[in-house]
Structure 1
Amino acid sequence: MAYTISTTVSMPFEEAVTAATEALKAHGFGVLTTIDVKDTLKQKIGAEFRPYRILGACNPQMAHQALQAEDKIGVMLPCNVIVQEHAPGRVEIAAVDPVASMQAVENPSLGEVAGSVREGLRQAIADLEARS
């Protein structure tokens, strides 16, 4: 089973980060955290890396439902969305598939929430694909 929902867009990296954030917002997700992997690797270990950002996306209503269904599910929140540049103007945006990531948790109520989250993330990725 694939564990991501992704697309590749033709736009500059920073524009893709902004577009991803906006697409997530349009489907009920906020970005709680942003990790600049390129900058972090440079600062921590001196490594050069391509532009790569991890966005911690959360839909508060769905997160609340998930936490009510499974009290330890917070270890899998927020949903990570990556934005990485493969070549100038060619940027991949990929979201975790929450159904795949929560497959090990045997809780039907959680599965329903994961399905709703997956659909919202799919729609956000589809919006990005349509913009490219």
Structure 2
Amino acid sequence: MAYTHHLTLDQPYTQAVESVRTALSEQGFGIITEIDMRATFEKKLDTDAADEIGDYLILGACNPGLARRALAAEPQLGALLPCNVIVRGGDEAGHSIVEAMDPKVMVQLSDSDHVRAVADDADARLRAALASLSRAH
């Protein structure tokens, strides 16, 4: 089962992170959590583990209006929020990989038409953000 939308950018990691932030913001998403996996592995494991994962950032993106609708429909959906978006270094120098969770995965866990509508809206916005990244680069 595919659970992310995937895009490879012809941008170095630091630039890709900023591009992703901008694209998400343009679709009404704010970043409410941020996890630098390289730094976490360095701190909790060791340098080798950090080097293995490389540049890897998890951005917790949240569109407050969509979150409000989802939580009103099913309060327990908070366990699935925020929408995680990953930015990581690509296999080739100067390339980065972006992966955004597919909000429609929530629908598979809920029978609610309200949740389905929110997931469809979130999915359209995340896809639009990724499409804008594709067009720009």
Give the TM bin, normalised by the shorter chain.
over 0.9
Counterpart contact for 1:10–1:91, Cα < 8 Å: yes
Counterpart contact for 1:3–1:101, Cα < 8 Å: no
Q: What is the alpha-carbon distance in structure 2 between the residues aligned to residue 101 and residue 129 of structure 1?
A: 26
- Name 1:61's counterpart in structure 2: 65
Which amino acid in 2 is paired with 1:38?
Answer: R
Counterpart contact for 1:2–1:100, Cα < 8 Å: no
- 1:90 paired with 2:91, answer no
Structure 2: 5+ residue stretches without partners:
none
Q: Find the partner of 1:80 among 84, 98, 109.
A: 84
- Superposition RMSD in Å: 1.0
Greater CA drift, 23-32 or 39-48: 39-48
The residue matched to 1:72 in structure 2 has which SS?
Answer: helix
Counterpart contact for 2:106–2:119, Cα < 8 Å: no
Greater CA drift, 108-117 or 86-95: 86-95
Give per-residue Cα distances to partners, 1:70-116, cap 9 Å, x unaligned. 01000000000000112321101110001024412221110110000
- Name 1:127's counterpart in structure 2: 132
The normalised TM-score by structure 2 is 0.92
Count how many residue pairs are aligned between Structure 1 and Structure 2.
Answer: 132
Counterpart contact for 2:86–2:99, Cα < 8 Å: yes
The normalised TM-score by structure 1 is 0.96
Which amino acid in 1 is paired with 2:112?
Answer: N
Which amino acid in 1 is paired with 2:23?
Answer: A
Which amino acid in 2 is paired with 1:9?
Answer: L
Q: What is the alpha-carbon distance in structure 1 between the residues aligned to residue 44 and residue 19 of structure 2?
A: 28
How much identity, in percent, do the aligned residues show?
39
- 1:36 paired with 2:40, answer no
Structure 1: 5+ residue stretches without partners:
none
The residue matched to 1:104 in structure 2 has which SS?
Answer: coil
Counterpart contact for 1:36–1:53, Cα < 8 Å: yes
